[in-house]
Structure 1
């Protein structure tokens, strides 16, 4: 389930990036020319989880004030939960990969 959620999230993000571009060929070439930065990727992922948490918190506060519906709160909390589960899954895979590398003979 987590692998499917991660794949779906990646596909959604890619589709969203592609639809928001004005010149897809230029943006795809730019993406191919840039080197991936693992630290920036992790930072962006953590920031995304934090942003989802903030949205869920604000929605819950709005519900207490009578400005939001229960369905909105449940949806925001569920989105935060999926984002957090995805981040934990990625963390577990990184740790597993690190342990595998450390066990390799030199």
Structure 2
């Protein structure tokens, strides 16, 4: 459930940036004339949120793999249903992350097509 909250936060930031772009707001520029990282109320930047989401997906996949290995070795207390649920969670989180990546690529392409 943590991954879903992080993904929703990333999507909300993307929606906010889209609204700002539609309203004609200019991003703040620092001395090097590059866009400053956008931070939310907690101080996390977009890159941090994205990294945390990717790390969460990676952790769920690693957990699923370790449970599957433990089940294959016959470790007591590891049931097939635990393994299957863990693998499905990893699969769903990976699919969600793939969709977020696809949307981000699409948004990037849209921004690159905008006239200066």
Rg larger for: 2
Partner of 1:65 in structure 2?
Answer: 73
1:39 aligns with 2:39: no
Structure 2: how far apart are the matches of 1:57 and 1:82? 15
SS in 2 for 1:105: coil
Structure 2: how far apart are the matches of 1:56 and 1:71? 12
Of 74-83 and 62-71, more deviation after overlay is shown by 62-71
- Compute the RMSD of aligned alpha carbons: 2.6
CA deviation after TM superposition for structure 1 residue 35, in Å:
3.8
Q: Which runs of 5+ in 1 are unaligned?
A: 15-30
CA deviation after TM superposition for structure 1 residue 105, in Å:
1.3
Query: What is the number of residues matched between the two proteins?
Result: 82
CA deviation after TM superposition for structure 1 residue 10, in Å:
2.1
1:96 aligns with 2:91: no
Q: What's the TM-score once normalised by structure 2's chain length? A: 0.62
Of 65-74 and 55-64, more deviation after overlay is shown by 65-74
Among 6, 9, 19, which residue is 2:4 paired with? 9
Partner of 1:26 in structure 2?
Answer: none
Kindly report structure 1 stretches of 4+ aligned residues shifted beyond 6 Å.
Answer: none
